[in-house]
Amino acid sequence: FNNRNKTATKTMTTTTKKQKKLPPGPPPLPIIGNLHQLGHLPHQSLWKLSRQYGPVMLIHLGCVPTIIISSPSAAREVLKIHDLDCCSRPQLLGTGRLSYDHLDIAFIEYGDYWREVRKLCLLNLLSAKRVQSFRYIREEEVGSMIESIAKSARSGTPINMREKFMALTISITCRVAFGKKFPWMELNDGKFMDVIYEATAMLGSFSASDFFPRFGWIVDRFTGLHARLEKSFRKLDNFYQKVIEEHRSACKSNEEEEDIVDLLLKMERDRTELAGVQLKEDNIKAILMNIFLAGVDTNAILMDWTMTELARNPRTMQKVREEIRSCVGNKKLAVEDDLPRLKYLKLVLKEVMRLHPPAVLLLPRETVGHFNLFGYDVDPKTRVHVNVWAIGRDPSMWKDPEEFVPERFENSPIDYSGNHFELLPFGAGRRGCPGISMGMAMIELALTNFLHSFDWELPQGMTEGDVSMEEGAGLTIPKKVPLTLLPVTQFYKTDA
Ligand code: HEM
């Protein structure tokens, strides 16, 4: 009987295997799979491959089966129809270390703890109401940034735009989330920014252990990735530790003054449990990591690409500037009440997000169940990447996709909130970005004031055609060559 049973089981397994229909994809090599085909900018290489193999493509990253999604309808399937099957995250070396072994929101597996922590941050920091309550912080910080740019304008000093945007997003995020700016951050000499650049590089790093679980760690030690990751972790840990210590020693008289760090520390003191997990210092630091790294870099990158496209497209620059100046009028600074009227600016931002979504492949997802995707079988523990960069350049979706034409969004219902799968800079579904309101509030106000107060010129000897559009590598895609522009004072001289 046993033998008969074994034979039956064997036959069944073979049939199941035979019946499985896997998505098409480039043939993998032994051991490395398709890793050799990723190149320096995986989203671009994957886009080229998807044109050959289709919008649902299976590749192998070492021994990890990975589905690459490259069309709006396929994105809708994984982010909406099968969202529950695709809503976990793979546990990777870099994200694991920097999130204190996945105690955060963005890189933790799907489950009750993730749901509770996400809800906590949404309620206390990221809801539309909370974001609105931080309005004065954004206005103050943008105001001081404009002051500092006015100095450069007076001395005729060109500005590295990404650095300015980073400094701005860091100071706004710190005040909103940690209650104040931290003087020891050494923003001006760029050291703190380097810590952030390195951390985001580590979050997006390709580590051998992620693809070859058995022996990859040896490779990671040999290549120095392990040591780099440890160094990055220590620096960030030091930063969160200082934030926590300052909060522990500060005595706040009323609840109004409390920020999310105070709330988390109170929960630690009260031994509050989230989905059965007692909050400890590591949990708090992991959450701080998310709030800090998720918002700072993405916002700055998006603003940098916006100024790049405007510098390359003087007609659009002129049109958006005219709209802003006619709405804001003679006021020295634009305030948030001015923003709803800036219709063209919103079209410009959508067009920038179509061509330059900061997280080109979203954050990696991992399937939790077996499901059928356009007739193909997808197994649990399959990694899923949605190539939103490729979707934004799909010629069947967009006319002249490589052209920068904000007007294409005129009278179009498409927006970026995760309901239109043609434009997904913030992802969609359960794991979609919870920081959209916070991010967009910062971006719109900052850009409006940058364009209201100054005309921006290319450094001497440069023409629009010389502006580099090369992309850097990482989990988020910055410009490879920094954009430098010269501010020329305009409205700033007029006092309101
Ligand atoms: C322009 C600004 C931003 C962009 C383009 C952006 C983009 C994204 C993307 C693509 C994801 C992954 C979505 C997915 O897998 O479907 C994500 C997740 C996330 N974002 Fe953002 N983001 C931005 C700003 C922010 C801000 C300001 C915060 C908060 C301070 C934030 C917090 C998060 C968190 C916590 C997650 C993880 C969500 C989860 O896994 O449940 N983001 N973001």
CA geometry: angle 69, 372, 7, nearest 5 deg: 130
Q: CA 409, 413, 417, 421: dihedral to nearest 10 degrees?
A: -90
Q: Tell me what percent of the chain is helix, strand and coil, each rounded to the nearest 5.
A: 55, 10, 35
What is the reported pLDDT for 140? 96
Q: What is the DSSP letter of 68?
A: E
Smallest CA separation from ligand 1 atom 37, residue: 106
Q: Averaged over 33-37, what is the pLDDT?
A: 95
Helix (H, G, I), strand (E, B) or coil at 361: coil
Average pLDDT taken over every residue of the chain: 91
Q: Is 250 left (phi over 0), alpha (psi -120 to 50) or beta?
A: beta
What is the reported pLDDT for 491? 57
> What is the rounded CA–CA span in Å between residue 216 and residue 207?
8
Could you read off the pLDDT of 342-398 as tens digits, one per residue? 999 999 999 999 999 999 999 999 999 999 999 999 999 999 999 999 999 999 999
431 phi and psi, to 5 degrees?
A: -95, 10
What is the reported pLDDT for 297? 92
Which ligand 1 atom lies nearest to the CA of residue 430?
A: 41
The structure tokens 């008289």 sit at 253
What is the reported pLDDT for 184? 55
Could you read off the pLDDT of 276-304 as tens digits, one per residue? 999 999 999 999 999 989 889 999 999 99
Q: In the structure, how many helices (H) and strands (E) does the chain have?
A: 18, 11
Q: Is 433 annotated as a binding residue?
A: yes
Could you read off the pLDDT of 58-76 as tens digits, one per residue? 999 999 999 999 999 999 9
Q: Give every CB contact of residue 475 below 8 A, 6+ residues apart in sequence.
A: 200, 203, 204, 359, 363
- ipTM over the 0.95 cut-off: yes
186 pLDDT tier (thresholds 50, 70, 90) = low
2 pLDDT tier (thresholds 50, 70, 90) = very low
> What is the rounded CA–CA span in Å between residue 69 and residue 303?
26
Residue 320 scores a pLDDT above 70: yes
Looking at per-residue pLDDT, the higher value among 213 and 341 belongs to: 341
Residues with CB under 6 A from ligand 1: 105-106, 118, 126, 290-291, 294-295, 298-299, 302, 358-359, 362-363, 425-428, 431-435, 438-439
> What is the rounded CA–CA span in Å between residue 92 and residue 463?
43
Element (H, E) at 159: strand 159-160
Q: Is the pTM of this model over 0.95?
A: no
What is the reported pLDDT for 182? 67
What is the reported pLDDT for 275? 93
Percent of the chain with pLDDT over 70: 92
Contact between residue 268 and residue 284 where contact means Cβ atoms under 8 Å apart? yes
Smallest CA separation from ligand 1 atom 9, residue: 426
